[in-house]
Amino acid sequence: MPTSSSPPIPCLATLLPLLFAFGCVSLTPYAEIRRSLPDADRLTIDGRTVHVEQRGEGEPLLLLHGFGESTYSWRKVVPALSEHYRTIAIDFYGFGYTERPKDRAAYSRDGQLRLILGVLDALGIESAHVAGHSYGGAMSLALAAHHPDRVRSLILIDSAAVTYPDEKKGFGANSRTASRLALAIALRPNMIRRNLRKAYFDDALATPEVAREYAARLAIEGVLDAYAGLSLPPPPAGPPIDLATISKPSLWIWGLEDRTVKIEGGRAAAAKMAGSTFVAIERSGHSPMEEKPDEVVRAILPFLETQASPPGAR
């Protein structure tokens, strides 16, 4: 896993600068997004609308997406996982169908952690199994480090370094250029498709349809606020998170062909956590849950079976 001195670029992390390329495309008003969401998929956290997709019954399994992604990234594994667990996929601030706050602090690691905890509290969930991809993996580790009572077990899929959410991304969103581009925002599906090809092992999976779906969940009113918030310099460094101190059972799943966060770094990070299990997925890049969903499910279900909570536990 890369260190803070060499920040990873999770799936689509290079996308945001491209969102502000010259051109013209309309942004979907957030009021329209809010009206389109089923009541069951909408929560109000800190006065903001948060998109949450819940499926199935049983022990809660929280799904945290990667940078530039959304609940859409879990579409291929949720059907199988929700046959056994209550899957809860959320959209982070800045992504998917969750409202884009103007408060830039919402986009920091602490702000996103507050969102996660708010979702758990609103749903009456004391603790959950937590699966995170890339940026979502870093958030999962931070949640386990700072709020261990809320985490039953961890599933890290091609995870970014735990330091990543609060590292400066270098987008330059606070420059005058970004302000000018606020009047000429373009979200180019062909650019997204290019980034998907970098993330996937099999280029054929980066179809125009998939690129359009990713684009639709980014080209939403408030994207400039998100862009600025996600580009903020990091806050003063606090105590570093030592992976060795995270005692939760963990399953690490990695695409063998990941060119974004190399598998060697994943193995090294997993080795720091006692009792971790590591599974490499062949012919997969940075997004195994999209490229090899059956293999990912076959790794997750046996792991979660060994972590079953006692009868009556919430």
Q: pLDDT tens-digit profile of 212-269?
A: 999 999 989 998 888 888 877 766 667 889 999 999 999 999 999 999 999 999 999 9
Look up the domain containing 232 and give its range: 15-305
* 2-9: average pLDDT: 36
Residue 1 lies in a domain: no
Tell which residue, 213, 135, 184, 234, has the closest CA to residue 19.
184
92 or 11, greater pLDDT: 92
Least confident piece of the model among 50-59, 143-152, 212-221, 270-279: 212-221
The mean pLDDT value of the chain amounts to 86
* pLDDT at residue 138 is higher than 90: yes
Query: In this structure, what are the phi and psi dihedrals at residue 46, rounded to the nearest 5 degrees?
Result: 50, 35
Residue 187 lies in a domain: yes
Report how far apart the first and last C-alpha atoms of the chain are (Å, whole number): 33
List, in order, residues 6 or more apart from 312 with CB less than 8 Å away. Answer: none
Q: What is the per-residue pLDDT across 292-313, written as a single tens digit (0 to 9) for each? A: 999 999 999 999 999 876 544 4
Tell which residue, 134, 148, 142, 163, has the closest CA to residue 248.
148
- The CATH number of the domain holding residue 122 is 3.40.50.1820
Residue 3 lies in a domain: no
Q: What is the per-residue pLDDT across 70-115, written as a single tens digit (0 to 9) for each? A: 999 999 999 999 999 999 999 999 999 999 999 999 999 999 999 9
* pLDDT at residue 143 is higher than 80: yes
Residue 6 lies in a domain: no
pLDDT value of position 187: 63
pLDDT value of position 236: 66
* 267-296: average pLDDT: 97
Residue 174 lies in a domain: yes
* pLDDT at residue 190 is higher than 90: no
Residue 314 lies in a domain: no
Provide the domain count of the chain: 1
Residue 77 lies in a domain: yes
17 or 155, greater pLDDT: 155
Residue 313 lies in a domain: no
Q: What is the per-residue pLDDT across 18-62, written as a single tens digit (0 to 9) for each? A: 444 434 557 899 999 999 999 999 999 999 999 999 999 999 999
Q: How far is residue 262 from each of residues 107, 268, 291, measured CA to CA in Å?
A: 26, 10, 17
Q: pTM score, two decimals?
A: 0.89
pLDDT value of position 98: 98
